[in-house]
Structure 1
């Protein structure tokens, strides 16, 4: 593979490394993944890979940023656009199936859950940059609904956790239980059911 000389070419090369890295982490786990294997998958030498990333953890953190952060930003944008809780739920129900089916998020979730104790700093950063950001936005949405008198819950933060539970469930299901299965989880139907249950539970 020829050396990338322009910024655009370097960006393409970097993305190739992220794809190769995610595949290696997904198949072998963080602990057993090797930089030389990632380089081989990308068709470069290990030395070339180290020109872009200082370490395996550095590469994995960039994978987290490229896969998960855009989804958090999308969720935050949905919450900004919504006039009320019900509209926000409707927008989320429409967007979440695509966020799971058309992204590498399930693969990333499998690595994080399967090998969490191997990289505590990465887990801490993921919680701060991804999970807590998402929960903060949802908690604020529920709190606004409670202040307006249209929702009721004693604990908006826990309610926000329950809101995102099907997302985590769906990601795990996709990479663990659908392997070799002919039938896929009907995500639009799942999230529609979840939306209806949330409205019944939270509406004042």
Structure 2
């Protein structure tokens, strides 16, 4: 393949490598993935691959930046623009199933879970840049809902974890169990059910 000279061509080449890397990590696991295979999947030489990424760890960190962090930013933006706790919860319940179905986040989660001990620094980076950042935003959302009198809880941090739990469950389900099942999980129904349970549990009791 010809060398990428323009910035646009370099960006496209980087994107091709990122997609190829994610497929290799997803299918073989982080430990068994090989840079030779990633180069072959991307249609580049091994030397070209190393011009972009010095190691598997560096490549996976860029995968996290490309796949997961934009979704966290989207969630943060929704919370900033929201007019209240329940309206934001409703938006999240509509958008998060699409995130699971239409993004590569479940693939990233499967790689992390399956090979977490092989690259602890990368797992730590994912936790800080994705998990903790999302958890922090949801915790703020819960506390604001309490301050506004919309909801009541003594444990905003764990409520935030419960809010994100269906994403983790459905991500694991879609990449581990669903490929061997004849029927796809109805994620919209799952998230709507979860939303209804949260609304019932968090509404302040009538005086």
What's the TM-score bracket when you normalise by the shorter of the two chains?
Answer: over 0.9
**SS of equivalent residue, structure 2 residue 3:** coil
* 1:23-81, Cα deviation, whole Å (9 max, x unpaired): 00001111111111100111111111000011110001000110000100010011111
* 1:147-184, Cα deviation, whole Å (9 max, x unpaired): 22221111100000000000000000000001132211
- Provide the rounded CA distance (Å) in 1 between the counterparts of 2:80 and 2:188: 22
Matched residue, 1:138:
138
Matched residue, 2:94:
94
Matched residue, 2:202:
202
State whether structure 2 residue 152 is matched by structure 1 residue 152. yes
Matched residue, 1:118:
118
Length, aligned pairs only? 204
TM-score by length of 2: 0.97
Q: Structure 2: 5+ residue runs without aligned partners?
A: none
- Provide the rounded CA distance (Å) in 1 between the counterparts of 2:142 and 2:169: 22
Matched residue, 1:50:
50
State whether structure 2 residue 73 is matched by structure 1 residue 73. yes
- Provide the rounded CA distance (Å) in 2 between the counterparts of 1:32 and 1:174: 22
- TM-fit CA distance, 1:136: 0.7
- TM-fit CA distance, 1:185: 0.7
- Provide the rounded CA distance (Å) in 2 between the counterparts of 1:179 and 1:52: 33
- Provide the rounded CA distance (Å) in 2 between the counterparts of 1:100 and 1:154: 30
Matched residue, 2:59:
59
Matched residue, 1:179:
179
- Provide the rounded CA distance (Å) in 1 between the counterparts of 2:150 and 2:166: 23
**SS of equivalent residue, structure 1 residue 200:** helix
Equivalences for 1:16-31 in 2 at 5 Å? 16-31=16-31
**SS of equivalent residue, structure 1 residue 32:** coil
TM-score by length of 1: 0.98
Q: Structure 1: 5+ residue runs without aligned partners?
A: none
Where in structure 1 do 4 or more consecutive aligned residues deviate above 4 Å?
none
**SS of equivalent residue, structure 1 residue 153:** coil
- Provide the rounded CA distance (Å) in 2 between the counterparts of 1:127 and 1:111: 14
